[in-house]
């Protein structure tokens, strides 16, 4: 079986956009409405001839009470099914309480975690990405899922951890 990369993070950080970028298709459901990805959705990806599975997660209602618990559960499930976890944070917004909860769950998972600082659309925003060191998950990898900026670098980092 091919290695599994689970993409986790709170709603609206750009998980599905990043999954689309990784698989090179426009298939994962992306909308401006947060939390639109219904459940875990699995895709095949190839990078530098290496095949792996990408799992897009989501499906909770960000306005619902108990969102923090749902996010923690989702991160837990993703960590269990994955070989590598891709934790996506919105570098423009910075670290939120929900991000800290996910970070806490993932640090305890024992699985390799890659921290993607998404929405770094230009060089000026690289500075924003540095704020994500605060999550205690190592070096944030700046990327723009929307424009593709540094997405090849991120894929190289993913490949290194598979
Ligand atoms: P998800 O809920 O985490 O799956 O997030 P989505 O992929 O649905 O994206 C949420 C919103 O963020 C959409 O409006 C995307 O177009 C936008 N978005 C995603 N990635 C980027 C990015 O790299 N830069 C910018 N500026 N916006 C992005
Ligand atoms: Mg989504």
Percent of the chain with pLDDT over 70: 86
Whole-angstrom CA distances from 32 to 11, 12, 29, 91, 134 are 10, 8, 10, 17, 27
Over residues 106-133, the pLDDT tens digits come to 999 999 999 999 999 999 999 989 999 9
Whole-model pTM above 0.95? no
Over residues 38-56, the pLDDT tens digits come to 567 788 899 999 999 998 8
> Whose Cα sits closest to atom 18 in ligand 1?
14
Ligand 1 residue neighbourhood (C-beta within 6 Å) = 9, 11-17, 30-32, 34-35, 37, 58, 118-119, 121, 144-146
> Whose Cα sits closest to atom 15 in ligand 1?
14
Q: What is the CATH number of domain 4-161?
A: 3.40.50.300
CA 95 / ligand 1 centre spacing (Å) = 16
ipTM score assigned to the predicted complex: 0.99
DSSP string, 128-141: HHHGGGGGSSS--E
Average pLDDT over residues 122-150: 95
pLDDT band at 76 (very low <50, low <70, confident <90, very high): confident
């Amino acid at each position: 079986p091919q290695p599994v990369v689970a993409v986790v993070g709170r709603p609206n950080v750009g998980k599905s956009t990043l999954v689309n970028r990784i698989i090179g298709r426009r298939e994962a459901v992306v909308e401006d409405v947060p939390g639109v990805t219904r459940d875990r959705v699995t895709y095949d990806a190839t990078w530098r001839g290496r095949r792996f599975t990408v799992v897009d997660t989501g499906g909770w209602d960000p306005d619902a009470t108990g969102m923090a618990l749902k996010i923690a559960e989702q991160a837990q499930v993703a960590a269990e099914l994955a070989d590598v976890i891709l934790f996506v944070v919105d570098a423009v917004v910075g670290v939120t309480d929900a991000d800290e909860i996910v970070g806490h769950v993932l640090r305890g998972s024992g699985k390799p975690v890659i921290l993607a600082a998404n929405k770094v659309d230009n060089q000026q925003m690289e500075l924003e990405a540095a704020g994500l060191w605060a999550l205690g998950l190592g070096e944030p990898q700046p990327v723009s899922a929307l424009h593709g900026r540094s997405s090849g670098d991120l894929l190289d980092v993913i490949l290194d951890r598979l």
